[in-house]
Amino acid sequence: MYRATLGEFDTESKPDCDLACAISFGHRLKGAAYQVRAEKQVKLGGLDINLVGVADFIRAGKIIDIKRVMRYEYGKYQFSAQHPMYLELWPEAVRFDYLIWDGSYAYQETYRRQDCESIYTIGKRFLDYLEGADLMGTYTAKWREKEE
């Protein structure tokens, strides 16, 4: 018997434990749309950037991403660019939840729009870094979108 909540799972049997987590997450995600893709063209630092994201799950204003990690420490995703970008891609979403599984425990980190930097600020900082490191040419050459 497993608790259908976040928390600890029976670690006596590893495969069953992973299955228990999957069942638990399944309860939480029942009815959600999964693998939802979105794109948005934005201007950033004079470049046309195509933001692309595939949300693991979306339901009722929540974007949910599943992470399987070997080791977890709370705040792991605090500075990730994923939730700021996804909240930009789905402006109608109100929060982003990471559901994290380390093999024996399930954790959750939640970020709301007001909790994180704008993806524009993060993107600008990245482009400034590329400029400073003289890598802008490499970036624009290697990451240019293929023409259809």
Partner 1 sequence: MIKKPDELSFADKKFCMVLAGQPGVGKTTVALSAPNPILFDLDQGVSRVKAEHRCLTSSNDTYEGLLADLETPEYKAAETVILDTGGSLVQLMQPWAKKQDAKAARDGRAMFGIIKREFDRLTHQIRNIDKKNIIIIFHTTEVQKGDTITTRLSCEGSAKDIVWTPADLGCYMHIMGGKRYLGFTPTEEYFAKSCFGISGIREVPELAPGQKNDFLTRLFEEAKANLLADMQAFAPQKDIYDSAMTAGTELINQAKDAESLGVAAATIKAMEHALTSKAELGKMIGDKAKELHLIWNKEEGKYVSTDSQPAEQLGKGNGSRKSGK
Please name every residue paired with 84 in a beta bridge, in sequence order, or none if there are none.
none
Instruction: Give the pairing type, strands 47-59 and 33-44.
Output: antiparallel
With respect to partner 1, which residue has the nearer C-beta, 7 or 124? 7
With respect to partner 1, which residue has the nearer C-beta, 79 or 129? 79
Count, residues near partner 1 per rule CB under 8 A: 42
Q: What is the largest CA-CA distance in the chain?
A: 56
Choice from 27, 30, 43, 146 touching partner 1 (CB under 8 A): 146
Please tell me whether residue 59 binds partner 1 under the rule CB under 8 A. yes
Q: Give yes or no for a contact between 6 and 21, defined as CB atoms under 8 angstroms apart.
A: no
Output the CA angle 132-49-59, nearest 5 degrees: 120
Binding site for partner 1 (CB under 8 A): 6-8, 11, 32-38, 50, 52, 58-63, 72-75, 78-79, 90, 92-94, 104-105, 107-109, 114-115, 142-146, 148
